[in-house]
Structure 1
Amino acid sequence: MSCAYDFHLPGLSGETIDLSAYRGRPLLVVNTASKCGFTPQYEDLQHLWSLYGRDKPDGLMVLGVPSNDFGEQEPGSAEEIKTFCYRNYGVTFPMAAKAHVKGPEAIPLFQWLRQEGGFLSRPRWNFYKYLIGRDGNLTRWFTPLSKPTSGRVEESVRRILLDH
């Protein structure tokens, strides 16, 4: 695969999320979990989605990818995850089905992100964030310590949105 828009993932509600449908839009891909100390970042992700993407045809796409890979902090079913995210954080951005994001079992999108970002970019816990430019290439990645609304992340998002 040559860029992020070449991937598709099963969606949390059973649909297929075809990233080619977002071609030309920046993407923020985040591996998520419902029972993690970083779980409140869902609220910040929703804020970014509402501010920069939801109603803007060329705005930021936020994509959550639930994973149980770290500390078994995403044990729920698809319905439980969906209900939890909406009820507690008002999540309306697209969510993929629960998937592996590390090691040899990682889904192809996360294998590609690791290849593009290098060894240090591989997720080592929940809520790693991957910012993909309008060209479909990885531009930056952030550890869970960088909140989605931190100056570093939000400034990177604004910069990429200005890049036409």
Structure 2
Amino acid sequence: MSVYDFSVQTIRGEQKPLADYKGQVLLIVNTASKCGFAPQFDELQELYERYKDRGFTVLAFPSNQFREQEPGSNDEVEQVCKLNFGVSFPLFAKIDVNGAGAEPLYTYLKKERGGMFGSSIKWNFTKFLIDSEGRVVKRYSPTTKPTKFERRIVELLDEANR
């Protein structure tokens, strides 16, 4: 099993098979625009712009599960992300990342790479790095800034392009 076995809903309500991203290095992130970590959108966008032509994509999954820091509709979330943070990477429909209603992709990600205090997602901006084969390589905490592991992204891109 890999992330390519899942299909998710885009922020505009269309189904998107993650198999469409086969061969790319992915960074899957649960986001919230009103979170104290929201400035990470800037770094996520920088990395996306820097490496998208080499096969890197950020996939953002807004979630309102942590102190209701993403309360708006999908349309409102899209507007805030594009206008306030200049996001051009793919945004998906708001999801739950924990609990009985958790998005199946997130159930899989948590099973593959548990966190320091168990497998549940503890906060917004938990990041999962996926290699070009669809395998979960690493889980990064909300406090880990995306540029901190840029070197690892580049290594995975180099491996994928050999």
Instruction: Tell me whether the two structures share a fold, i.e. TM-score over 0.5.
Output: yes
- Which of residues 84, 88, 95 in structure 2 aligns to 1:88? 84
In structure 1, C-alpha distance between the alignment counterparts of 2:141 and 2:13, rounded to whole Å = 29
In structure 2, C-alpha distance between the alignment counterparts of 1:103 and 1:122, rounded to whole Å: 9
Out of 132, 144, 149, which is 2:142 matched to?
Answer: 144
Question: How far off its partner does 1:16 sit?
Answer: 1.9
The equivalent position to 2:93 in structure 1, one of 89, 92, 97, is: 97
Are the equivalent residues in 1 in contact too, given 2:25–2:156 (CA < 8 A)? Answer: yes
Deviation at 1:122, TM superposition (A): 3.2
Instruction: For residue 17 of structure 1, report the CA deviation from its aligned partner.
Output: 2.1
AA aligned to 2:134 is: G
Whole-angstrom CA distance in 1 between matches of 2:61 and 2:113: 18
Alignment deviations for residues 113-156 of structure 1 (CA, whole Å, 9 cap, x no partner): 01111353531000000000111110011001111112xx2111
Summarize deviations over 1:90-132 as a string: whole Å, max 9, x none. 1010011000011222100000001111353531000000000
Q: Does 1:29 align with 2:28?
A: yes
TM-score normalised according to structure 2 size: 0.93
Identity %: 44
Moved more, 112-121 or 3-12: 112-121
Contact 1:26 1:132 in 2 (8 A): yes
The match for 1:79 among 75, 81, 96 is: 75
SS of 2:147's equivalent in the other structure is coil
- Is the aligned partner of 1:70 residue 2:66? yes
Q: Is the 8 A contact 2:23 2:55 kept in 1?
A: no
Coordinate RMSD, CA, aligned: 1.2
2:45 equivalent to 1:46? yes
Cα distance 1:37–1:119, how it changes in 2: closer, same or farther (>3 A)? closer
**How many pairs are equivalent?**
158
Displacement after TM superposition at 1:13 (Å) = 1.4
SS at match of 1:96: coil
Q: Which residue identity is paired with 2:133?
A: D
TM-score (norm. length: structure 1): 0.92
* Contact 1:4 1:136 survives alignment (8 Å): yes
- Distance, in Å, in 1 between the alignment partners of 2:113 and 2:13 is 29
1:122 maps to 120
Extract unaligned runs of 5+ from structure 1: none
Query: Which amino acid letter does the alignment assign opposite residue 31 of structure 1?
Result: N
Q: Distance in 2 between matches of 1:127 and 1:6?
A: 23
**Structure 2: stretches of 5+ with no match in the other structure:** none
Q: Which residue of 1 aligns with 2:8?
A: 9
Structure 1 runs of 4+ with >4 Å offset: none
Matching residue within 140, 144, 161 for 2:157? 161
Aligned-partner SS, 2:125:
coil
